[in-house]
Amino acid sequence: MDSETDPHAGQPLVQAGPAPRSAAATLVLVHGRGGDAEDMLDLYAALDLEKLAAVAPQAAENTWYPHSFQAPLSANQPWLDSALGRIKWLVDELISGGVPAHKIALLGFSQGACLVAEFVVRNPRRYGGVMALTGGLIGPPGTERSYIGSLEGTPVFLGTSDPDAHVPVERVEETSQVLTDLGAVVELRRYPGMAHTVNEDELSACRNLLQNLMELPDSTRDEISKPEEKDL
Tell how strand 129-133 and strand 104-109 pair up.
parallel
In this prediction, residues 60-85 reach a mean pLDDT of: 98
pTM, rounded to two decimals: 0.92
> Please, are residues 44 and 206 in contact by the beta-carbon 8 Å criterion?
no
186-228: pLDDT as tens digits? 999 999 999 999 999 999 999 999 999 999 887 644 343 344 4
Report the pLDDT value the prediction gives residue 2, as an integer from 0 to 100. 61
**End-to-end CA, the chain:** 46
Tell how strand 129-133 and strand 230-231 pair up.
unpaired
153-188: pLDDT as tens digits? 999 999 999 999 999 999 999 999 999 999 999 999
Give the whole-number percent of the chain exceeding pLDDT 70.
Answer: 93
- State the average pLDDT for the chain: 93
> Please, are residues 132 and 160 in contact by the beta-carbon 8 Å criterion?
no
DSSP state of 120: H
Report the pLDDT value the prediction gives residue 230, as an integer from 0 to 100. 42
Peptide bond into 20 cis (omega under 30): no
Domains of the chain: 13-231 (3.40.50.1820)
